[in-house]
């Protein structure tokens, strides 16, 4: 992905990487009740968290977890995600498989998606589930932010593969990024410059992920890539009509930003922006009808709030059982901040609500 080397990951990525690595050194996580092993599933590294047997030989439930970080940061092995997965394994008495997909700049789309799909399909094989004493009927796929993007895309693909005998019972998506069609939804406008994820940073992540050129950033900001004269975008416009998908309390007085004439060459150069594997919110209704029971966590102070709310509404309209868990006082990324020196009440609150739903439904 030569463009990333030309541009650099920017100050945002450097700072976040520094914080993640620093906190790893400050805090060590261990538990005598959880066995943590590294494995390779169909060429993809994973970290497996297994509760130790306590005399009960019954099969356990399981969560396949895909970490966030803009497809460019973090790891299944970093302290934040190691801690989250350990807590999940302990709280749910579940086998948690955390996928170590490759990152930008080593690879770009669709390789992160391919890694997540391969590892998940490998785990869903009956003999592999038996090896880890997992109940085939009690498996969830989950992820946060870019990991929520990958989890949703993988779940969609799994639902369409007719030769699969085992599929996830649930999907649980944590403030996922689901579309690059409209960067002027109410939440993008409302949280334009809100940390941890201002709009220009999210657009940078998309450009890095799809191996685009940073010179196109301004055109994406004003939705030139999906203008009315861009033929490739026409069939998707109705699927992302936030004026009908969002509640009035979210729409407020914000107006849609729809250009009459734009830059069709953007989609020609970067077709991944409209690829459902990269943008699961673009999926057709037939695909959405096949999705499992869904948990969607969104935060008010997050540019991605409306991505999650729109997907929840589209799934609900398709007949899927959906729980939308919205937090009015929380921010993007908060769920991993549960460890000193970044132990926030927002992180504890969202994590507990997420685990409670899994415990009640998985």
**Tens-place pLDDT, residues 55-71:** 666 899 999 999 999 99
The candidate with the shortest Cα–Cα distance to 65, out of 29, 36, 101, is 101
pLDDT value at residue 347: 86
The answer to whether 16 and 73 have CB atoms below 8 angstroms apart is: yes
Q: Which residues are catalytic?
A: 145, 302, 332
Please identify every stretch of the chain with a pLDDT value under 50, giving residue numbers as ranges: 1-9, 18, 22, 26-28
CA 329 to chain centre: 20
Per-residue model confidence (pLDDT) at position 53? 78
DSSP of 166-233: ---SEEEEES----SS-TTSHHHHHTTT-TT--HHHHHHHHHHHTT--GGGHHHHHTTGGG-TT-HHH
The pLDDT, as a whole number, for residue 337 is 81
Report pLDDT for 33. 87
Q: For 188-226, what is each residue's pLDDT tens digit? A: 999 999 988 999 999 999 999 999 999 999 999 999 999
Residue 5: what pLDDT? 39
Domain ranges of the chain: 12-361
CB 278 within 8 Å of CB 347: no
Find residue 36's DSSP bridge partners: 49
Angle between the N-to-C axes of helices 345-361 and 79-92, in degrees from 0 to 180, rounded to the nearest 10: 40
Instruction: Decide: 223 and 183 in contact? Cβ < 8 Å.
Output: yes
Residue 56, pLDDT score: 66
C-alpha to C-alpha distances, 17 to 20, 167, 347, nearest whole angstrom: 5, 34, 19
Region label for 257, one of left (φ > 0), alpha (ψ between -120 and 50) or beta (otherwise): beta
Q: pTM for the full model? A: 0.93
Question: Which homologous superfamily does the CATH classification assign to the domain defined by 12-361?
Answer: Alpha/Beta hydrolase fold, catalytic domain (3.40.50.1820)
- Per-residue pLDDT, 135: 98
Residues 6+ apart with CB under 8 A from 230: 262, 263, 264, 266, 267
d(C-alpha 141, C-alpha 220), whole Å: 30
- Which of 99, 103, 77 lies closest to 21, judged by CA? 77
């Amino acid at each position: 992905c030569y463009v990333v080397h030309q541009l650099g990951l920017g100050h945002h990525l450097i700072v976040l990487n520094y914080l993640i690595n620093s906190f790893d050194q400050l805090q060590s996580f261990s538990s005598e009740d959880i066995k943590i092993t590294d494995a390779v599933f169909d060429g993809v590294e994973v970290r497996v968290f297994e509760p130790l047997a306590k005399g009960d030989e019954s099969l356990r439930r399981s969560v396949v977890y895909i970490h966030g970080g803009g497809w460019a940061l973090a790891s299944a092995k970093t302290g934040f995600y190691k801690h989250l997965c350990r807590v999940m394994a302990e709280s749910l008495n579940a086998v948690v498989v955390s996928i170590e997909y490759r990152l930008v700049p080593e690879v770009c789309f669709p390789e992160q998606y391919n890694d997540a799909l391969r590892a998940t399909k490998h785990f869903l094989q009956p003999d592999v589930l038996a090896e880890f004493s997992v109940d085939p009927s009690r498996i969830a796929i989950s992820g946060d932010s870019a990991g929520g993007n990958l989890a949703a895309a993988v779940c969609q693909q799994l639902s369409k593969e007719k030769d699969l005998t085992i599929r996830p019972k649930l999907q649980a998506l944590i403030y996922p990024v689901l579309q690059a069609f409209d960067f002027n939804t109410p939440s993008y406008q409302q949280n334009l410059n809100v940390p941890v994820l201002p709009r220009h940073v999210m657009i940078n992540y998309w450009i890095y992920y799809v191996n685009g050129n940073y010179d196109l950033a301004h055109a994406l900001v004003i939705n030139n890539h999906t203008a009315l004269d861009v033929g490739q975008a026409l069939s998707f416009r109705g699927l992302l009509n936030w004026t009908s998908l969002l509640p009035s309390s979210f729409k407020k007085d914000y107006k849609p930003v729809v250009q009459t004439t734009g830059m069709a060459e953007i989609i020609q150069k970067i077709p991944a922006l409209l690829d459902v594997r990269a943008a699961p919110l673009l999926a057709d209704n037939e695909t959405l009808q096949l999705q499992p029971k869904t948990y969607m966590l969104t935060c008010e102070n997050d540019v991605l709030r409306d991505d999650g709310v729109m997907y929840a509404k589209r799934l609900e309209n398709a007949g899927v059982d959906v729980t939308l868990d919205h937090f009015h006082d929380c921010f993007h990324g908060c769920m991993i901040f549960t460890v000193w020196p970044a132990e926030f009440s927002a992180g504890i609150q969202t994590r507990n609500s997420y685990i409670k739903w899994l415990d009640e439904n998985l």
